[in-house]
Amino acid sequence: METGPSFVPLYQQVRGILLGRITDGYWKPGEPLPAEPRIAEELGVSPGTVRKALDDLAAAKVVTRRQGRGTYVTEHSPDTALFHFFRVVNAKGHRSLPDCRELSRHHGKVNARERKALDLPAGAPVYRIRRMRPMEGRDVLIEDITVPATLFPGLIDGRAPLPNTLYDHYQRAYGVTIRRASETLRAVGASDSVARHLGLATGHPVMEIHRVAIGLDEKPIELRITWLATDDFAYHVELE
């Protein structure tokens, strides 16, 4: 028989309260939180307890602390979004950042794979976007993005092209913050379509990456399937 913890530490309760206010949009990305002593007296706990809660949230990148200025709700920028979630390096092992060229966008209904990854009901409407992400001027990376239409109404209905980095756009335009992502990598032979876009022979080995991006509330937000030609680039991970 499973028994829960006999008590919940105060600082974890405080962390939950603060996270709730951020998730609910009471404090918005880029905004400063009240000073630590202010939060402490409001909640009736010691400043040290608030500090520990904020340290936890800072470690999870939910808030960003800046000495002498204050504690801010973390705001994705094009740079931070790429820095946290883009792990491709060039032949020298140096981080390299992609450009962007949109290939197609469609309305549709979830297929089986998307349903499973995004935990959606059958028939739920989705948007699908296919983009080329050239690296150092070469077409080596292509990605298929699927998001629930209900979360991002009108995302692909405008005439303007979508921004290069979507996660900061999700946050700014829809209040949806990506907190973390889960990636599954395989080596596959390039399909006709992928091979054509990447200038390879059909069946040439490419890396296929399934990414599910998870929001502040731990719910899946986006499914992204990437194909990367690893002849001149590679995927890099630090295991700690």
Q: Which amino acid is at 6?
A: S
Q: Which residues of 99-126 are buried (b: 16+ CB within 10 A; e: fewer)?
A: eeeeeebeeeebeeebbebbebeeebeb
Which residues, listed in sequence order, are joined to residue 125 by a DSSP beta bridge? 109
Q: Using CB distances below 5 to 8 A depending on partner kind, what does residue 47 bind out of DNA, a second copy, none?
A: DNA
Within 177-216, the residues that bind DNA by CB under 7 A are none
Query: What DSSP designation does 138 have?
Result: B
- Does the footprint of DNA cover residue 46 (CB under 7 A)? yes
Site string for a second copy, 203-222 (x = CB under 8 A): --xxxx--------------
The rounded distance, in Å, linking the Cα atoms of 19 and 212 is 22
Q: Does 84 bind a second copy (CB under 8 A)?
A: yes
Q: Name the strand (E) or helix (H) holding 227.
A: strand 220-228
Helix pair angle (166-174, 78-85), 10° resolution = 130
Find out whether 85 and 97 touch, Cβ atoms under 8 Å: no
DSSP 231: S
User: By rule CB under 8 A, what count of residues binds a second copy?
Assistant: 31
Q: Which does 35 bind (CB under 5 to 8 A by kind): DNA, a second copy, none?
A: DNA
User: Which residues ranging from 177 to 196 are in contact with a second copy (CB under 8 A)?
Assistant: 179-189
User: Contact between 239 and a second copy (CB under 8 A)?
Assistant: yes
Query: What type of residue sits at position 22?
Result: I
- Choose one: 47-55, 131-139, 143-151, 229-237; the region binding DNA (CB under 7 A): 47-55
Partner whose footprint covers residue 5, from DNA, a second copy, none (CB < 5 to 8 Å by kind): DNA
Among 37, 125, 161, 199, binds DNA (CB under 7 A): 37
**Residue pair 210/229 in contact by the 8 Å Cβ criterion:** no
* Residue of 150, 149, 222 lying closest to 183 (CA atoms): 222
Instruction: Select 74 or 226, whichever has its Cβ closest to DNA.
Output: 74
Q: Is 237 in the site for a second copy (CB under 8 A)?
A: yes
Instruction: CB nearer to DNA: give 67 or 137.
Output: 67
What minimum distance in Å lies between the beta carbon of 160 and a second copy?
Answer: 28
For a second copy, the binding residues (CB under 8 A) are: 60-61, 84-85, 87, 89, 93, 179-189, 205-208, 228, 230, 234-240
